Amino acid sequence: MNNLNKTYYIFDVDGTLTKPRQKADNRFVKKFISWSAGKNLVLATGSDFSKVREQIPQNMLSLFELVFCCMANELRDSSGELMRTNHFKPEKELIQDLKNFLIKSKYNTKTGNHIEHRTGMINFSVVGRDASDLERRLYNLWDKKYKERQKIADFLRNKYPELNVSIGGSISIDISPMGFDKSQVVEYLVQNKDVEEIAFFGDKTDPGGNDYGLITSLDRYNIESFRWHKVNGPKHLSELLNL
């Protein structure tokens, strides 16, 4: 990539800049700050801004020109000033379906905060958003074996074809109207910035993952150069960026 001023680097948070729901490592932060000099940086996460602030220190967050939260349904600058939002009022039947999945789940640990309403989307988790790091890891291991999230997502996609349903993070599912996903990041950049090149780094890049919409959206736009990297955490990202 030659023209840095027209190159935009887009980063996911959980599983990319940080371990899921963990604070960014201090050594990683220092190296990332040094690497970022002169670069256009964009954040794209399924989490809300309060969670971003918990995980990313302000000296690192301030480097990002744009911060897309809640699957890009909320756009802020690095100081937190709100620039744009989408709105989604889910049907009562959808909420009841999620409650039924929670009741019928064979996973016994339930920690609370299972249906989280965010800007333009819903985040659903059987184990619950209040789970500790250990409880998250245990559920994720169980889910990899029994594919609970995949089965729930498949059911919802079939019943609600107008909704985008994607697996995000290590314990949850993101639900939003079709088009209310991370593809909005690319759409905004193309419409509002002078973009020739994009580099994206995320962990949920496979079909059904909450980064997939961003990748597939590039087919709709005339961008000279685009590359994306599937990463499995900040250590892997450090290797890709040569930090």
Report DSSP letters for 121-187, one per residue: EEEEESS-TT--HHHHHHHHHHHHHH-HHHHHHHHHHHH-TTEEEEEETTTEEEEEETT-STHHHHH
What pLDDT is attached to residue 2? 45
The verdict on whether 14 is a catalytic residue reads yes
What pLDDT is attached to residue 3? 52
Mean pLDDT confidence for 51-71: 96
Q: With respect to CATH, is domain 92-177 assigned 3.30.465.10?
A: no
Report the chain's terminal Cα–Cα distance, integer Å.
Answer: 17
Catalytic annotation, pick one of 12, 143, 181, 211? 12
Of 171, 183, 173, 159, which Cα lies nearest the Cα of 121? 173
Domain ranges of the chain: 4-85+181-241, 92-177
Domains 4-85+181-241 and 92-177 share a fold: no
Using the 8-state DSSP alphabet, how is residue 18 labeled? B
Digit-coded pLDDT (tens) for 92-149: 999 999 999 999 999 999 999 999 999 999 999 999 999 999 999 999 999 999 999 9
Of 172, 170, 101, 106, which Cα lies nearest the Cα of 134? 170
Check whether 1 has a pLDDT greater than 50: no
Distances (CA, A) of 237 to 12, 154, 173, 232: 11, 30, 24, 8
The verdict on whether 77 is a catalytic residue reads no
Catalytic annotation, pick one of 14, 143, 181, 211? 14
Which CATH superfamily includes the segment(s) 4-85+181-241? HAD superfamily/HAD-like (3.40.50.1000)
pTM (predicted TM-score) = 0.85
What pLDDT is attached to residue 155? 98
